[in-house]
Amino acid sequence: MTSEIPARPELGDVVVGVDGSPSGRTAVLWAAAEADRRGRPLRLVHAADTDRRALFANAETIQAVREAGRDLLIEAASTVQERFPDLAVTRELSRQEPVAGLRAAAGHGGTIVVGNRGLGGFSALMLGSVGMGVAARAEAPVIVVRGGSDRPESGSVTAAVHGASDVGWLLVAAAEADARKAVLRLVSVWNVLTHVGNVATMLDDLDEIAQQRVHEIKALADRVRDFYPRLIVSHHVETGTSTPGILVEASAHTDLLVMGREHRVLGAGPSLGRVAHVLLHHAHCPVEIVPPAFATRVDET
């Protein structure tokens, strides 16, 4: 049963894909820092895809793939323990393909972290396949690590919001900011072009619509403060003609950009909207995608 008052979310274990690529190594260390902030275990997962490979490869090849995967996991765990000696770290060699392996490891309560390219043992694989697949299909939040490893911290988390219905996943962004002791910035883009062209739309109407958006975002900020009274929350409505462009620019000045994943249209297949696609490929910082199912569970009491 759904209540009008959502529950304060708990950030779960961190699951990170290990593949040996430079992007993957960056993601592993970022995920370790995230797990350390949360006080949760870090789960290193290498998806060797041996179930599928067994259909066309011999036993020696499969064994070599497994051994290579184990070596990658041992190396990743050693690197993490050097940086975070007190962090609980587990290793998992999955027999499934990368998307399915990471989804299974995270379940419904974890957070999946991936690099922005190269995952599951295919070092040349671009985000458009595995990373995008995880972000589109996972039942748990997914963070795609972007930006340089030496990027200075800004002390802020940014949430790309639209309206009142965002409150479920927005509390996840608040939990991320709270764990970092950072400021939470709510940014909503009001694109005037979405209202121009309607013969019934007048300038007064546009001004009224803009003011309504401002009031909605302020109300969202107030709801977040109810759950996190010590959290500094700011809210901004940006006006422009390119929502993705404004959010990409905002990503240059924050430590993490969080947004909700769109609901499936008529229940047919997973979806990532155009804005999410652009951010996952061009943002200057890690991007977290929170799925509708996770946000719905936040609303349950």
Q: Which element (helix H / strand E) includes 119? A: strand 117-119
50: Cα separation from own chain's centroid? 27
Distance, CA of 45 to CA of 102 (rounded, Å): 7
Please report, to the nearest 10 degrees, the dihedral formed by the alpha carbons of residues 264, 223, 9, 296 taken in order.
-20
The pLDDT value given to residue 206: 61
User: Residue 15 phi/psi, 5° resolution?
Assistant: -115, 125
Q: Which element (helix H / strand E) includes 91? A: strand 89-94
271, amino acid identity: S
The pLDDT value given to residue 272: 79
The pLDDT value given to residue 270: 54
Please enumerate in sequence order all residues whose Cβ is within 8 A of that of 200, keeping only pairs 6 or more positions apart, or say none: none
Q: What is the pLDDT along the chain (301 residues), one digit of tens a residue?
A: 444 455 678 899 999 999 888 888 999 999 999 999 999 999 999 999 998 888 888 999 999 999 999 999 999 999 999 999 999 999 999 999 999 999 999 988 899 999 887 544 443 333 446 778 888 888 899 999 998 777 889 999 999 998 888 988 999 999 999 999 999 999 998 876 665 555 445 545 666 777 888 899 999 999 999 999 999 999 998 888 888 999 999 999 999 999 998 755 444 445 678 899 899 989 999 999 998 866 655 444 3
Contact 235, 218 (CB under 8 A): yes
Contact 298, 266 (CB under 8 A): no
Could you tell me the end-to-end alpha-carbon distance of the chain, in angstroms, rounded to an integer?
Answer: 7
User: Residue 119 phi/psi, 5° resolution?
Assistant: -155, 145
Distance, CA of 166 to CA of 138 (rounded, Å): 18
CA angle 102, 254, 238 (to 5 degrees): 110
Both tokens of 245, joined, read 């462009």
The pLDDT value given to residue 123: 39
Prediction pTM value: 0.88
